[in-house]
């Protein structure tokens, strides 16, 4: 279950209500009523955290490629993803169970799997830019 406190504007999640699943970007959060609004690329949808089901999106190579990260497989088998000055290093291809992320002089060690929206939160905290398809290619 995703906690409301983890959700930030610009994060990507999947929201379900009465069997209808929508993947989208969080555009608004109503903390008082525990509701989030996601944009599915076509329109905005409001979801009540108490009635709907939120699903985290796992970090994958495809997800990072969609966000325009450039991939480099190192000689030692580690894989580096780069977007501007932001870097992600994983121990081996396809293994996002732990990662090292850094931006300029700030470095973070993530020792457990995290979903895409949490990576987006780290990206924003470190760069002050939302991680989306258009953020500093």
**Count: domains in the chain:** 2
Which domain range does residue 30 map to? Answer: 4-55
Residue 84: Cβ within 10 Å count: 14
- Say if 136 falls within a structural domain: no
Same domain, 36 and 68: no
Which among 55, 74, 95 is the end of a domain?
A: 55
Same domain, 34 and 68: no
Of 35, 14, 11, 27, residue with least CA distance to 116: 11
* Predicted local distance difference test score (pLDDT) of residue 115: 96
- Say if 15 falls within a structural domain: yes
Task: Check residue 2 and report its DSSP letter.
Answer: -
Same domain, 48 and 90: no
- Say if 100 falls within a structural domain: yes
* Predicted local distance difference test score (pLDDT) of residue 133: 63
Same domain, 28 and 73: no
Q: Mean pLDDT per segment of 10 residues, for the chain of length 137 residues?
A: 86 83 90 89 83 86 95 97 97 97 97 96 94 64
* Predicted local distance difference test score (pLDDT) of residue 134: 59
| C-alpha span between 21 and 52 (Å, rounded) | 10
Could you give the 3-state DSSP secondary structure of residue 56? coil
| C-alpha span between 1 and 108 (Å, rounded) | 24
- Say if 110 falls within a structural domain: yes
CATH number at residue 12: 2.30.30.520
Task: Output the furthest CA–CA distance in the chain (Å, rounded).
Answer: 51
* Predicted local distance difference test score (pLDDT) of residue 8: 92
Same domain, 28 and 82: no
- Say if 79 falls within a structural domain: yes
């Amino acid at each position: 279950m995703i906690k409301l406190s983890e959700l930030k504007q610009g994060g990507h999640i999947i929201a379900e209500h009465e069997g209808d699943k929508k993947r989208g970007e969080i555009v608004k959060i109503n903390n008082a009523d525990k509701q989030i609004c996601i944009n599915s690329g076509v329109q905005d949808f409001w979801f009540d955290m108490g009635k709907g089901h939120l699903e985290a999106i796992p970090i994958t190579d495809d997800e990072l490629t969609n966000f325009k990260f450039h991939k480099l497989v190192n000689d030692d088998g580690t894989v580096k993803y780069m977007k501007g000055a932001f870097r992600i290093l994983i121990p081996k291809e396809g293994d996002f169970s732990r990662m090292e992320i850094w931006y300029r002089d700030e470095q973070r060690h993530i020792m457990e799997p995290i979903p895409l929206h949490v990576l987006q939160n780290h990206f924003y905290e470190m760069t002050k830019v939302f991680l989306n398809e258009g953020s500093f290619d």
